[in-house]
Structure 1
Amino acid sequence: MNQSVVITGLGVVAPNGVGLVSFLKAIQKGSSGIRFYPELKDLGFSCCIGGIPEVSEELKREYLTDLQLRNFNSSGILYGCIAGMDAWSDAGLSATEKVDYNSGTIFGTGMSGTEKYREAIYKVDAGKVRRLGSTVVAQTMASGVSAYLGGILGLGNQVTTNSSACTTGTEALLMGYDRIRTGQADRMLVGSCSDHGPYLWGGFDAMRVLTYKHNDTPEAGSRPMSASASGFVPGSGAGALVLESLESAKNRGASIYAEVLGGAINSGGQRGGGSMSAPNGDAVQRCISGAVRNAGIQSTDIDLINGHLTATSKDYFEIQNWSQALKLEGLHFPYVNTLKSMVGHCLAAAGSIECVASVLQLKHDFIAPNINCTDLHEDIVQLISPDKIPRTIIKKDIHIVAKASFGFGDVNACVIFKKHK
């Protein structure tokens, strides 16, 4: 069995927009969600800026009950529940009283409940283990977000959490795609989420991979593909997509955003230049070319690349790998953009939020701007035309978008989306 897979629902919690309407407006306008946080400065961080979604107490209560929110302290799970429930509703679906054995979720994360861990550690160290509460396990276990979503929505197919660093969200999408394509499920809610805060971001600050030059100008801090790029800006949030067999979507009369043509997942094995924090270029190229092949398209069919592109020294290397894998350069190279210029690097949530952005661009026929790219890196513009890196929105009919994520541990994922007709 080899079923066509389509996207029927989207949900997003991003630093520059919570919900599809505000997020769509933000990426069309090029609005940044990066802010200065005094608490990071007080803790001695070099990078005192970041991307944190704005979620009010009132909004929380639209998704979780007072009982669920009692002693709740896991931002990643909260973001995942909001995005996941929004995507489910956007697809015209609702929670069921009976178990829905045809629907499941693969919803990833990097770390779950870091603030809850901190709270629990202090209580245990103080001899107050009986004061931990009954939800500490659910909030800190790796599969917490998929467990919450599975229970809220009544999902009876596969319910699990994947974790592959920055590749998590794109990998989750491809895992759900495979499950539907092979007839093991009718629908899969896929996505990923990431906590925010000093206990998650501190390690990156210690590695000196975060920018420290824009504490006074936070919105200018994330500068992918720029000569002045000085490290990435940490972010957080969640993205979610409902994948469904074309047959199921048609039978329900569901609206369709796009089709998933295929993709590829691999690893560079931390060989050939690859390491825990650097990609193996050959593996990246194999992943990209494998995705193109599995999708049954030609490189020249791609209208837009939504890259990983983190605003580090690896940006040129990524563009070089895309060029070599697709065998395209100059004006023949597709348009390329990266959401990280607006929201920073949302870590485990990055791939899913960026997949939502990719699908929205495909659905609404525009190419979002790369903000802060006023000084394109000279090595990049020698390889591809500057015209292919838009600094302002381009209204354009696009048909195929390639989205890739490359993560810590030398892991890669690439997916190909197509406009549905």
Structure 2
Amino acid sequence: MSKRVVITGLGVVAPNGVGLTEFTKAIKSGKSGITFHQNLKDKGFSCCIGGIPEVSEEKISEYLSPLQLRGFNSTSILYGVMAGIDAWKDAGFAVDENSKIDYDSGIIFGTGTSGIEKFREAIYKIDDQNVRRLGSTSVVQTMASGISAYLGGILGFGNQVTTNSSACTTGTEALLMGFERIKNGKAKRMLVGSSSDSSLYTWGGFDAMRVMTYKHNESPEKGSRPMSETASGFVPGSGGGALVLESLESALERNATIYAEVLGGNINSGGQRNGGTLTAPNAEAVQKCITDAIADANISADEIDVINGHLTATSKDALEIENWTKALNRKGTDFPYINSLKSMVGHCLSASGAIESVASVLEIKEQFIFPNINCEDIHPEILNLISEAKIPSKIIEKNVHILAKASFGFGDVNACVIFKKYSK
């Protein structure tokens, strides 16, 4: 018999708020975390704005020891460790380096790239004849599984400890992978999430692709404009998000706080066919991902109250809305409310699914719908599909019972998860 899976802990390191308290305040008030960065301008970037979490050296020392920080230069690992530890503590567990191995708990924590700055720092100092001088600290910081390796050692987990990587769907995919493991009885708890670094060497490639906005260097907070007619490309962001998934049985046994329930979801690919490419979605596959997620959750499309979309502030926003209307068979005023966290934090790349899932779960737990900022001029193609009232520009206090969160990523890959307000 499959297990019910609930969420008992959250952690977040976002451009507009580090920690649950600050992040919750930020998304309720529509606070932007997008700022101007002189170093981007100095390096010749066309887009000189971005979302970078504000983390002090003092704050970092609360999570990593002096030994771990020796030669450390990976914001992806840092953000993931911070979010992961916060989520674990939020779930009511202690962090003890001398704890016994916990074979009931595991980690699936994703990233897109890890330690590019560290690798660049290391290779800059050597030539091809001195490769061994990369240094011992470069290995764990540059391997993709570095984030789960750090967290696994800090927390002493003995169940599956691994890393996934699926571009912008990474965080949502990690959540669904952890959900399946608990549902099938292979773990009691899974710490899931994803992180993304704020490296010039990550952002530089996107700037070269000309998919980032260059029109708001003088007005950074106005730069990220999902669903807007004046959207001119995405704004890069970074950070980390983490969730503790747990079997309902385990959560009730220890009287844990339950934020929400994970009803089900789906992961698929468009195969880069039928209009899908490395960078564009196959609309048919996107719609199938959504409808299959709804079927897996054993609900009807009419029960969805809110959609937390992928919505990147690019030309594909209208297509995403169209895909939702077709998948749900709901239009106009019958369409659910929809929002995009990217309006406040930018596109946090591989971290986006996790950070946005944390925001989604907070909406369910605290019964509100966060606003879309920079959306005063909704794209007319979107208004032809859904009512303007369904794209809130101010916070709405509302009974949020069921929420759908989706992510669509490079490589024509898709993931959709269905969250529900917990009830016995």
Common fold, TM-score beyond 0.5? yes
Secondary structure, aligned partner of 1:255: coil
Structure 2, unaligned runs of 5 or more: none
CA deviation string 1:379-400 (max 9, x = no partner): 1011000000000111111101
- Give yes or no for the alignment of 1:217 onto 2:195: no
- Give yes or no for the alignment of 1:113 onto 2:115: yes
Aligned to 2:178: 176
Aligned to 1:371: 373
CA deviation string 1:340-381 (max 9, x = no partner): 000000000000000000000110011000000010000101
- Give yes or no for the alignment of 1:83 onto 2:80: no
Secondary structure, aligned partner of 1:383: coil
So what's the TM-score if we normalise by structure 2?
Answer: 0.98
Secondary structure, aligned partner of 1:193: strand
Aligned to 1:416: 418
Distance in 2 separating the partners of 1:43 and 1:63: 31
- Report deviation, 1:130: 5.2
In the alignment, residue 245 of structure 2 is paired with which amino acid? L
Number of equivalenced pairs: 421
Aligned to 2:94: 94
What is the correspondence of 1:140-289 to structure 2 with a 5 Å cutoff?
140-289=142-291
Aligned to 2:336: 334
Distance in 2 separating the partners of 1:280 and 1:132: 42
Secondary structure, aligned partner of 1:125: coil
Aligned to 2:45: 45
Distance in 2 separating the partners of 1:243 and 1:198: 33
Distance in 2 separating the partners of 1:316 and 1:129: 49
Aligned to 1:31: 31
- Report deviation, 1:54: 0.4
* Alignment partner of 1:399 out of 390, 398, 401: 401
- Report deviation, 1:125: 2.3
- Report deviation, 1:94: 2.1
CA deviation string 1:263-322 (max 9, x = no partner): 000000000000000000000000000011110111110010000000000000000000
- Report deviation, 1:250: 0.5
CA deviation string 1:311-344 (max 9, x = no partner): 0000000000000000000000000000000000
In the alignment, residue 249 of structure 1 is paired with which amino acid? A
Verify the 8 A CA contact 2:122 2:135 in the aligned structure 1.
no
- Report deviation, 1:98: 1.2
Verify the 8 A CA contact 1:176 1:188 in the aligned structure 2.
yes
Distance in 2 separating the partners of 1:57 and 1:243: 30
Distance in 2 separating the partners of 1:259 and 1:33: 29
Distance in 1 separating the partners of 2:221 and 2:30: 11
Distance in 1 separating the partners of 2:145 and 2:126: 23
What is the correspondence of 1:7-26 to structure 2 with a 5 Å cutoff?
7-26=7-26
- Report deviation, 1:135: 1.4
So what's the TM-score if we normalise by structure 1?
Answer: 0.99
- Report deviation, 1:122: 0.7
Verify the 8 A CA contact 2:373 2:393 in the aligned structure 1.
yes
- Report deviation, 1:117: 1.0
Distance in 1 separating the partners of 2:130 and 2:42: 28
